[in-house]
Each structure stands twice: as structure tokens, then as C-alpha cells.
Amino acid sequence: MRSVRARAALGATAVVAVALIAAGLAVLLVLGAKLTDQTDLQAEVAAQEVASQLALGVPYGSVDLPDPEDTPVQVLTEEGQLVVASDKLEAISGTGSTQLRPDRRPGEQPPGEDGDDLGERADSGRGEVSRDEPRFTTGTATVDGDTADYRFAAVEATTSSGATVTVYAGVPLTDEKDAVGTVRSAMLLGLPVLLVVVGGVTWLVTRRALLPVEGIRRQMATITASEDLSRRVPVPGTRDEVDRLAVTTNETLAALEASVERQRRFVADASHELRSPIASLRTQLEVASAHPELLDLEGAVQDTVRLQDLAADLLLLARLDAGEKPGTARVDLAALVRSEAGRREGAGGVPVVAEPAEAVHVTGSRGQLARLLGNLLDNAQRHAESSVTVALREEGGRAVLEVADDGAGVPQAQRERIFERFVRLDDARSRDDGGAGLGLAIARDVAHRHGGTLTAGRAAGGGAVFTLVLPLA
């Protein structure tokens, strides 16, 4: 079943069906138990009335019995002898005896009675009704040709002569069965209708809820077919999960559009940057081929080195964009600063002053961190007037590295733009002196890969300061 609407409707219908069936069974059980208790109470009352008469000394043949069609009665002695039975009783089961007619003649006195009037017998002595809980049984009885199920209550009584008898009085279960049957029939008739209503309502509600999803799907299909990432999916404005899905989808499309645009710009800029040294190198080789004495070997080597550096930068950016992990090595930033500063001492250019610092350890790739620091130092030396200063310290559980120069500084409006790829603020500078504009972009990407930040600001001496913050190892 591939339709979400169908699965939701079927699932809701199944859950409601199980719940209704369970609830219906519980209702039928409770209703049956309550009606049975009520029937037991009626049978007990009838048995108690007959037992009370016998306890007062009423002769067996003179006992006032209830209507046999409503309450058939049997009275049995301890030996199981039937002494009292309802008229019109044609068959009975579930009591102590299936006998239908008493063994004693109508009007015969109970054993030990003298036949005086009831008042005299009551004065001479009386029996009692047992206070024990009555017993209840289920059986059948046929009265005047009609057979039905009955609940019988058994109550013991002691006559005035001391004889113990058991009174069985029954109440038909017809009303209970009719009530339970009516409720069961109503449930069986109403359950399918209710399930159809639940399934239909669930189908309609789910269909209405999924309409925005279908709109999102159609728009995404259109975007895929047209490859136009500037388009966006409709936001329903319902402030629910579908609304948040549409917002997140548009954010993803925006990020994808920016990524694709950045990739296109990167490819175009890389092609442009590569074109100049390649064209220069080709020109020099062509001239050298025709006139060997005019070969500018030093310029050819410089162009080749520049191509090599640019290719290395592009390769590193590609690896960073691919999500290359920085590694888990323990790197001493203080030693790295001393190493990079010492490497520049004999190379000419603006001197680099490294303020002494204790060991500061971070976790990551020593090669990438060295590349980051080297790019910052190259940028600072390129723009400094007379000196470059490197400071390192621990602050708040993080390593803070600052590279400052005494140059013209970076305008505040451009302090984020300089970290974009192929962006150079000194456009008038020659490409040979200014580089390709990838150094700071690489430095920030490496900082982010190591869980840190890299920002540009204004140095105390008026130049630029680049601050790298990394978590300590």
C-alpha cells in the first residue's frame, strides 16, 4: 500500500476497531455481571420469603409460593426429599433434585407439628433462617410448557420442629439475555458504520493535511527538471510539521543555490587565475624555442612555482570542501609559531617578531595548521610597513593566536569579504606580488575544520590583526 492516506485511514480504522471491540466486550461483560447480580438478588429475596414462612412453622402444604412462571420454588430436606414445589413445574435442573411433586400429601404438617393454628405454633416455638451466604446455581426450568434458563438461590432454614430444609427459588435469565442481546446487536450494527465514518474522516483529513506536501513535491520535481535553484517551494503557513518542512526545504535550496553559485564562481576564478601563468609560461617557452638566447629562465621558474602553489591551494580547498577530517594529533602552537617565524628570518622581507610563549597544545592536523599560520604571515608581510608581530596565549580554555602588522589595515566593511575565495582588495597590485586571493579563505576553512574561528580586526598600531581562536587539546 503506497498511499500515505490509505495507510493512515487503514491504521486509524484498525485502532478504532480494536478499541471498540475491546470496549464492547467489556461493556457486555459488565452488563451481564450486573444483570446476573440483580437476578441473584431477586432469587435470594424469593427464597428468603419462603424460608421465613417455614421457620415460623407454616405447614409445607400451606406455604405461600410466588408465581411459578416468574419464580419456581423447590424445598428439599437434608435427605434430599422434596417437600414443597411450585405448581405447573414440568421440568427443572440446577437444584438439588429433578423431582417435580412433593413426597408428602398437601396440607400435611411438618414433622413434630400438632396442627394447631399458626399463632399457637409461633408461641410454642419457631425455627430460624440460616444467616450463611446463599448459594447460587444456573439451571433450566419448564413451567406450563415454557422452558427457560434460571438463576437459583439456595437458602437453608430450620423449621419450628428442628428440621433443616433448603429452599431453592429461581428467577429467569430472559431479561438479562434480552438486554445483553440488544446491546450486542446494536454494537454489531453500529461498529461497521462507525468504522466507515472513521476511515472516511481519516482519509479526508489526511488528504487535506498532505495537500501542501504534494505541492512541495510538484515544485521540487519542477526544480529538478529545470535545474533552476532560485525557485522555492510554497510555504502553507499552517505553523505545523508541513510548514516547517517547507521552510527547511527552502533553506536547503538556498544553501544549495549558494553552494552551486560559489562552485561556479570558484571554477571561473580558478580558470582565470590559471590562465595568466600558463599563458606567460607558454610565451616564454615559444620564445625560447625560436630564440634560445632570449630564454627568461628565472621568470619561467617563477611562473612554474606559482602554478604549483595555485594547484596546491585548489587541491587543499577541494579536500576541505569534501569534508576532510583535520586529524587528532596533538600540536604545539608555540613550537609551530617559532618554526614559521624562524623560517622567514633569512628569506628577506618584513621581519616577523614572535613573542615568547609557553607550550599551547591543540588537536588537529599539524600540516593544515602550519598552512594556516603561513598564510596569515604571508598576508601580513605583504601588507606590513616595517614589522609583523605574532602573539600566542591561553584564554578561557582556548588558544588565542594573533598576527598583527603595521600596514594600512583592512576597512571594516571589507573584513568579512577578504575571507572569500579569489577576493583581493589590492586590485592595483600586480598578480605576481598579490597572489591569487586564496590564502585567507584557506586559513578560515582550516580554522573552522578545527572547531575554531578566524576574524580580522584593527591592530593597536593601526594595521590589521588576524585573531585565531582554537579549543585547547
Average pLDDT over residues 53-82: 90
Distance CA 221, CA 249 (A): 13
The DSSP bridge partners found for residue 128 are 158
Local confidence band at 107 (pLDDT 50, 70, 90 cut-offs): very low
Q: Residue 409 falls within a domain, yes or no?
A: yes
Q: What pTM value is reported for the model?
A: 0.50
Which residue is associated with the grid cell 582588495?
Answer: 425
User: Are 64 and 103 contained in the same domain?
Assistant: yes
User: Are 175 and 250 contained in the same domain?
Assistant: no
Model pLDDT, residue 217? 84
User: Are 413 and 444 contained in the same domain?
Assistant: yes
Tens-place pLDDT, residues 220-232? 888 888 888 888 8
For 327: left if phi > 0, alpha if psi spans -120 to 50, otherwise beta; the answer is: left
Distance CA 300, CA 283 (A): 10
Each residue of 426-445: b (16+ CB within 10 Å) or e? Answer: eeeeeeeeebbbbbbbbbbb
With vertex at residue 312, the alpha carbon angle to CA 310 and CA 314, rounded to the nearest 5 degrees, is 70
Who contacts 172 (Cβ-Cβ below 8 Å, separation ≥6)? Answer: 70, 148, 149, 150
Asked whether the predicted pLDDT for residue 131 surpasses 90, the reply is no
Mean confidence (pLDDT) of the chain: 83
User: Are 335 and 406 contained in the same domain?
Assistant: yes
The DSSP bridge partners found for residue 471 are 398
Tens-place pLDDT, residues 263-276? 777 777 677 667 77
Does residue 435 or residue 174 have the better pLDDT? 174
User: Are 153 and 257 contained in the same domain?
Assistant: no
User: Are 257 and 387 contained in the same domain?
Assistant: no
Model pLDDT, residue 1? 55
User: Are 169 and 29 contained in the same domain?
Assistant: yes
Q: Residue 224 falls within a domain, yes or no?
A: no
User: Are 270 and 334 contained in the same domain?
Assistant: no
Instruction: Find the range with the poorest average confidence among 295-309, 380-394, 406-420.
Output: 295-309
Q: Residue 199 falls within a domain, yes or no?
A: no
Instruction: Find the range with the poorest average confidence among 68-72, 247-251, 343-347, 363-367.
Output: 343-347
User: Are 299 and 153 contained in the same domain?
Assistant: no
Model pLDDT, residue 453? 93
Average pLDDT over residues 441-466: 89
Tens-place pLDDT, residues 136-153? 999 999 988 889 999 999
Distance CA 235, CA 215 (A): 9
Model pLDDT, residue 46? 92
Instruction: Find, among 374, 384, 445, the residue nearest to 409 by Cα.
Output: 384
With vertex at residue 38, the alpha carbon angle to CA 33 and CA 44, rounded to the nearest 5 degrees, is 120
Who contacts 333 (Cβ-Cβ below 8 Å, separation ≥6)? Answer: 360, 361, 362, 369, 392, 399, 401, 470
Q: Residue 187 falls within a domain, yes or no?
A: no
Q: Which of 294, 324, 354 is the last residue of a domain?
A: 324
Who contacts 343 (Cβ-Cβ below 8 Å, separation ≥6)? Answer: none
Does residue 284 or residue 134 have the better pLDDT? 134
Q: How many CB atoms lie within 10 A of CB 70?
A: 13
Asked whether the predicted pLDDT for residue 430 surpasses 60, the reply is no
Strands 388-395 and 352-354: parallel
Average pLDDT over residues 434-451: 82
Domain count across the chain: 3
Q: Which of 272, 302, 324 is the last residue of a domain?
A: 324
Q: Residue 206 falls within a domain, yes or no?
A: no
Q: Which of 324, 355, 383 is the last residue of a domain?
A: 324
User: How many residues are given for the chain?
Assistant: 473
Q: Residue 205 falls within a domain, yes or no?
A: no
Q: Residue 217 falls within a domain, yes or no?
A: no
Distance CA 402, CA 382 (A): 16
User: Are 308 and 348 contained in the same domain?
Assistant: no
Q: How many CB atoms lie within 10 A of CB 17?
A: 16
- Helix or strand or coil: residue 429? coil
User: Are 263 and 134 contained in the same domain?
Assistant: no
Domain that holds residue 337: 325-471
Tens-place pLDDT, residues 276-292? 777 777 877 787 777 77
Q: Residue 8 falls within a domain, yes or no?
A: yes
Instruction: Find the range with the poorest average confidence among 4-8, 34-38, 195-199, 468-472.
Output: 4-8
Model pLDDT, residue 347? 64
Distance CA 419, CA 409 (A): 15
Model pLDDT, residue 111? 47
Distance CA 237, CA 8 (A): 23
Long-range CB contacts (< 8 A, 24+ apart) of 398-401? Answer: 398/452, 398/469, 398/470, 398/471, 398/472, 399/333, 399/360, 399/362, 399/468, 399/469, 399/470, 399/471, 399/472, 400/467, 400/468, 400/469, 401/333, 401/337, 401/373, 401/467, 401/468, 401/469, 401/470
- Contact predicate 383/348, CB 8 Å: no
Cell triple for residue 61?
402444604
Model pLDDT, residue 105? 47
With vertex at residue 389, the alpha carbon angle to CA 384 and CA 393, rounded to the nearest 5 degrees, is 150
Distance CA 319, CA 322 (A): 5
Asked whether the predicted pLDDT for residue 113 surpasses 70, the reply is no
What's the CATH code of the domain at 315? 1.10.287.130
Local confidence band at 207 (pLDDT 50, 70, 90 cut-offs): confident
The single-letter code of the amino acid at 290 is: A
What's the CATH code of the domain at 451? 3.30.565.10
User: Are 305 and 337 contained in the same domain?
Assistant: no
Instruction: Find, among 397, 398, 356, 379, the residue nearest to 437 by Cα.
Output: 379
State phi, psi for 118 to the nearest 5 degrees.
Answer: -60, -35
Model pLDDT, residue 25? 92
Tens-place pLDDT, residues 402-419? 999 988 888 888 888 888
- Contact predicate 313/446, CB 8 Å: no
